[in-house]
Amino acid sequence: MKLLLKIWRQKNAKTKGSFVSYQMDNVSPEMAFLEMLDSLNKRLVEEDKDPVAFDHDCREGICGSCGMYINGHPHGPVPAITTCHLSMRFFKDGETVWIEPWRAKPFPVIKDLIVDRQAFDKIQIAGGFISVNTGSAADANSILVPKKNSDEAFNSAICIGCGACVAACKNASAMLFVSAKISQFALLPQGRIEAIERVRAMVAKMDEVGFGNCSNTGSCEAECPKQIKLTNIARLNREYFKAY
């Protein structure tokens, strides 16, 4: 099939970017979206032009590296998957495909479709851990956790840190990301001990790096490739009030 790609090209953080059109004539519906971009890049290298830069690694939906804003959706129009799992069979022959980087002040564009997501790491460094030294843990079964809590903690812990929630939110808010981590620890007895310090530190860092405020729109939940729930945000709010 034939597609017209409109890709955001920006040489580096300092220069201005713009959309560049690329006509793709031989796209197979069996290709994955990133493989379609691979084939574009192959062509560009053969023409001695600068290939399109984008983050990608595991290509199986778990590392959280890939992420681009495709036709109005983070990770493209198919729900609950990452860009690397997006198949070209979901596009129509002759379609125009807009490909943009994540847009948020704390995620500045580095080059083309690559953005800097270290703001997420900073939030995790602020308090996204349990303080236990190697070798000092008690026997694993000495901590009993109700299966319900453990399963719920897992459902929050599966966040891949891709940033789609921020990209989707009209306020570029990171509440879904932060709440997923807070929830995971809040639901486990191991995590309760530092619950107060954790939520204070992580929320303070989230505000400091410049994410927007949550207005309960729910676009994060709708676009999250791992289907992390909005209930996490309510839990984060509760945890935050409890901390003061």
CB of 27 to other proteins, least distance (A): 9
Q: Are 191 and 143 in contact (CB under 8 A)?
A: no
Q: Smallest distance, Å, CB 86 to other proteins?
A: 9
Q: Tokens in use for 1?
A: 């099939």
Minimum distance from CB of 235 to other proteins (Å)? 7
- Report the nearest approach of other proteins to the CB of residue 122 (Å): 10
The contacts of residue 115 (CB under 8 Å, 6+ apart) are 67, 101, 102, 104, 107, 108, 109, 163
Detail the DSSP E strand segments found in 75-141. 96-100, 109-111, 114-115
Residue placing its CB nearer to other proteins in the complex, 23 or 131: 131
Give 2: exposed, middle or buried? Use CB within 10 Å, 0-12, 13-18, 19+. exposed
Task: Please identify, using beta-carbon distances, which residue of 23 and 26 lies nearer to other proteins.
Answer: 26
**Beta bridge pairs of residue 99:** 7, 70
Nearer to other proteins, 4 or 58 (CB): 58
For residue 91, the minimal CB distance to other proteins (Å) is 14
What the block records as the tokens of 238 is 């509760």
- The Cα–Cα gap between 180 and 159 comes to 7
User: Residue with structure tokens 């929830």?
Assistant: 183
